[in-house]
Amino acid sequence: MRARDLFIAAFLLSQLLLPLRWYALRDPGDPYDERFAWRMFSPERMVRCSAQAQLNGAPLELGRRFHSAWLTLVERGRMDVVHAVVDRICLTEPGGDLRMRLSCLEIDGEQRTLIEPTTNLCAETP
């Protein structure tokens, strides 16, 4: 009976600590990550981002290369997904010159640019 009580207590404690770890150690480079946010009340959900990409100087239509679920997360400003998109493009286009602008419209109407198209993103990926 005691082992079962300890297991239940440990399980409940882990369910509490995992989201708290996210709040305490949140990545400042990904301001719109809402994995543990109360989505109904989350201002991150209301943010809308747009990504424009160029590969070797020509416009790159992300919708032709990626599933709509990925693009939805890019449009929400999820930087981990944006980095995965960049990594995938650079993997399929070795030596390519990839430039991207990611700008987001926040709920207060302020425009925030997260990525500027000033550098070749493929040169920065390992």
Contact in structure between 44 and 105 (CB atoms under 8 Å):
no
Give yes or no for a contact between 99 and 117, defined as CB atoms under 8 angstroms apart.
Answer: yes
Length of the chain: 126
DSSP letters for 80-123: HHHHHHHHHHHHHSTT--EEEEEEEE-TTS-EEEEE-TTS-HHH
Q: What is the pLDDT of residue 68?
A: 92
Identify which of 5, 77, 86, 94 has the alpha carbon closest to the alpha carbon of residue 37: 77
Residue of 42, 12, 37 lying closest to 22 (CA atoms) = 37
| 22 vs 115, higher pLDDT | 115
Q: pLDDT of 87-117, one tens digit each?
A: 999 999 888 899 999 999 887 888 888 888 8
Please tell me the pTM assigned to this model.
Answer: 0.66
Q: How far is CA 77 from the centre of its chain?
A: 5
The domain segmentation of the chain, as residue ranges, is: 31-124
Residues whose CB is less than 8 angstroms from the CB of residue 70 and which lie 6 or more positions away in sequence, other chains included: 81, 84, 85
pLDDT at 17: 82
